[in-house]
C-alpha cells in the first residue's frame, strides 16, 4: 500500500526536479502539507474549517515546519496568480465538492506548465452504488456530507480533458480510492 505523504517526494522525480511551491487543498489537520513541506520551498494549505487549521498549525509547530501558510478558505474562493504552483494536492476531496470539474479547472490554472496534480478520490460510483440511494437522505438530515458518486473512468477522462497527462494511477486498499499523479501540459 502506498502512503500519501510519499507522493510528492516520488512525484518530484517524475517531474525531473525539486518543487518551489506546493498547494494543498482540504488541508484538514495539516498532515500532508506538513509532511510534504520538506520537499518544497513553501506550501500554501487551505481548508474551509478554521478549527481544523488551528490543529494544523499546532501540528506544524510540533514538527518544526515553518514553510507552510494555512488559510481558511474554499477552493472556489481561493485566488492566486496563474501558474503559481509546482504541485497541487487534492487528497480525499473531489467527491465532496459540489463541482469537482471546477476544482480541476482551478488546479490547472494554478499550476505551472509541467506542474503536477496529485489526487486521491473516493470513486463510490464504481463500488458503492447502493450507497447512492441512501446518501442523499443522510446528507439532507445532516448526518453525512453531500457526496458525488464519481467513477474512475469518468474522473480519468475529466482530468485528461483539462490538459493533464497521467504519469501514474492506482487504486488503494478496497479499490474505492483512486489515485492519480498527472502533469499539466503546456
Report d(CA 36, CA 22) in Å as an integer: 8
Give the percent of the chain with pLDDT over 70: 87
Report d(CA 147, CA 96) in Å as an integer: 5
Give the percent of the chain with pLDDT over 90: 53
- Among 8-12, 40-44, 134-138, where is mean pLDDT lowest? 8-12
Q: How far is CA 57 from CA 34, 94, 159, 173, in A?
A: 9, 24, 31, 30
Phi, psi dihedral angles at 153 (to 5 degrees): -60, -40
DSSP H or E run through 180? strand 177-184
Q: What is the pLDDT of residues 58-109, one digit of tens each?
A: 999 999 999 999 999 999 999 999 999 999 999 989 988 989 999 999 999 9
Q: Is the pLDDT confidence value at 19 over 80?
A: no
Q: What global pTM score does this model have? A: 0.83
Query: Which cell is 174 given?
Result: 478496497
**Dihedral angle, C-alpha 87, 93, 95, 100, nearest 10 °:** -50
pLDDT of residue 1: 38
CATH topology of domain 4-184: Rossmann fold (3.40.50)
pLDDT of residue 89: 92
Report d(CA 158, CA 48) in Å as an integer: 24
Report d(CA 178, CA 166) in Å as an integer: 13
Q: Is the pLDDT confidence value at 131 over 90?
A: no
Nearest CA among 159, 35, 161 for reference residue 169: 159
Burial per residue of 7-21, b for 16 or more beta-carbon CB atoms within 10 angstroms, e otherwise: bbeebbeebeeebeb
Confidence of residue 20 (pLDDT cuts 50, 70, 90): confident
Amino acid at each position: 500500500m502506498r502512503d500519501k505523504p510519499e507522493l510528492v517526494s516520488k512525484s518530484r522525480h517524475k517531474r525531473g526536479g525539486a518543487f518551489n511551491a506546493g498547494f494543498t487543498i482540504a488541508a484538514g489537520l495539516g498532515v500532508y502539507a506538513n509532511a510534504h513541506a520538506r520537499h518544497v520551498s513553501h506550501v500554501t494549505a487551505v481548508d474551509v474549517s478554521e478549527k481544523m487549521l488551528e490543529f494544523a498549525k499546532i501540528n506544524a509547530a510540533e514538527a518544526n515546519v515553518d514553510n507552510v501558510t494555512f488559510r481558511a478558505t474554499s477552493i472556489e474562493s481561493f485566488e492566486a496568480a496563474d501558474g503559481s504552483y509546482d504541485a497541487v494536492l487534492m487528497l480525499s476531496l473531489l467527491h465532496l465538492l459540489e463541482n469537482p470539474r471546477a476544482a480541476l479547472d482551478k488546479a490547472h490554472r494554478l499550476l505551472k506548465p509541467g506542474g503536477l496534480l496529485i489526487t486521491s478520490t473516493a470513486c463510490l460510483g464504481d463500488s458503492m452504488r447502493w450507497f447512492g440511494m441512501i446518501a442523499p437522505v443522510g446528507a439532507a438530515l445532516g448526518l453525512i456530507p453531500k457526496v458525488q458518486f464519481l467513477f474512475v473512468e469518468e474522473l480519468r477522462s475529466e482530468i485528461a480533458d483539462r490538459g493533464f497527462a497521467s504519469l501514474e494511477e492506482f487504486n488503494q486498499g478496497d479499490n474505492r480510492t483512486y489515485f492519480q499523479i498527472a502533469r499539466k501540459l503546456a
